[in-house]
Amino acid sequence: MLRLVEPLLFILLSATHDELARQVQFLRAENRILRERVSARVRLTDHERRKLVTLGAPLGAAVRELLSIVAYATFQRWVRELGKRKRARKVRKSGRPPKAEVLRSLVVRLASENLTWGYSRILGELTKLGIRDIARSTVKNILEEHGLEPAPFRAEPTWAEFLKIHAKTLWACDFFTRPVLTLAGWRTCTILFFLHVQTRRVIVCPPTLHPTHEWSREQAILFVEHAKAQSFCSPTILIRDGDGKFGPGFNDALRDCGCTIKRLPVRSPQLNAFAERWVRTVRRECLDHFVACGERHLGHLISEFVRHYHEQRPHQGLGNQLLVRDPQKPSTHPNPPQIRAGPDAAHVPRVVCHQSLGGVLKHYERKVA
């Protein structure tokens, strides 16, 4: 069974939105054909019914187009029966009183945050925390009341969770291109960059009109030196696509520094989502506003944006914090008070705007009194 599930999950993770829609359409047709060939009635266990209800109920009426094992009315009956069971469990019964809500919430939290933990593992963690007046069967009942399956059926790990686990040692790299105007006309300039997944900090190589294998190898060596100079840990894992501009020398230079190369499969931009997102950011917020005149001009635009990206631009994925604070300009308000509009609005500190690249890049600071 795993031999069938793992390739399917890999295909879904590496697909774009349009490709995913076509794949779902194909799987629906294939499932109907297989169902027509099966003459006997498909009988499901209680666990299989709960699994289908857990996955299908959030889809609403759209699940009607996907069902082939049972009728839509039968599936709705399963949903109602599961809801009745949950409500029945919540009704207080005679006998031993239920556990405190705080303890029940803790059991649910441990199960939700650790998908591979079973009942015994959760019970062991509770015991370590000094909670001893609870049995394994109680843990099982609490999870069933909240619709949580036993491990390992609770949920499958996602690619996002994999990246989160390895973010501290994981780097991503990619190329992107930009047309520049030269004396010989329009030429395509190539930019190579490296992004640290945990901190979102980037190292951008100088643009070039001639992205040869030797140039890529030199940039790999400079990247490692730059990463160490900026107090990063030595790169240990690097993910990249199969672009031919990398060349064998690129991999060899990084392996000599102790870095493992993970090559992504073809047509899988979502597996390198952090790098793809940074390309979109630099294009939309900077490069799309300019006509670059040569390599030096393009390099200046990118270097100014990288400085803005690191030191001045808040990042939503990191709690709207700055990636790097300028050591030459310490913050005068490490914990600035909130600005309130009210009778004391006259005492609100002034906010000044700083601009670069002709006003394309802007950021705001409180003016020092």
Mean pLDDT of 204-223: 95
Contacts with 47 (C-beta within 8 Å, 6 or more apart), sequence order: 149, 153
Between 66 and 335, the higher pLDDT residue: 66
Mean pLDDT of 202-225: 94
Could you tell me if 123 and 111 are in contact, meaning their C-beta atoms sit under 8 angstroms apart?
A: no
pLDDT band at 316 (very low <50, low <70, confident <90, very high): confident
**What's at 105, amino acid-wise?**
S
For residue range 282-300, what is the model confidence (pLDDT) as tens digits?
A: 999 999 999 999 999 999 9
- pLDDT value at residue 5: 41
- pLDDT value at residue 153: 55
What tokens appear for 253 in the block? 């230079």
Does the pLDDT of residue 2 top 50, yes or no?
no
Mean pLDDT of 150-163: 62
Mean pLDDT of 132-157: 74
Q: How far apart are CA 202 and CA 270, in angstroms?
A: 19
Mean pLDDT of 74-102: 70
**What's at 32, amino acid-wise?**
R
**What's at 352, amino acid-wise?**
V
Could you tell me if 170 and 179 are in contact, meaning their C-beta atoms sit under 8 angstroms apart?
A: no
Nearest-CA neighbor of 168 among 201, 135, 192? 201
- Token pair 């190369």 in the structure block, residue: 261
For residue 240, give the 3-state DSSP assignment.
strand
For residue range 271-281, what is the model confidence (pLDDT) as tens digits?
A: 888 899 999 99
- pLDDT value at residue 331: 47
**Picking from 8-22, 216-230, 242-256, 340-354, which range would have the lowest pLDDT averaged per residue?**
8-22
For residue 145, give the 3-state DSSP assignment.
helix
Q: Across 62-71, 209-218, 354-363, which has the greatest mean pLDDT?
A: 209-218
Q: How far is CA 160 from CA 17, 145, 262, 334, 359, in A?
A: 17, 28, 16, 32, 36
Does the pLDDT of residue 244 top 80, yes or no?
yes
What percent of the chain has a predicted confidence (pLDDT) above 70? 78
pLDDT band at 126 (very low <50, low <70, confident <90, very high): confident
For residue range 7-52, what is the model confidence (pLDDT) as tens digits?
A: 444 454 455 556 667 777 777 777 777 777 776 677 778 777 777 8
Exposed e or buried b per residue across 21-45, where buried means at least 16 C-beta atoms within 10 angstroms of its C-beta = eeeeeeeeeeeeeeeeeeeeeeeee
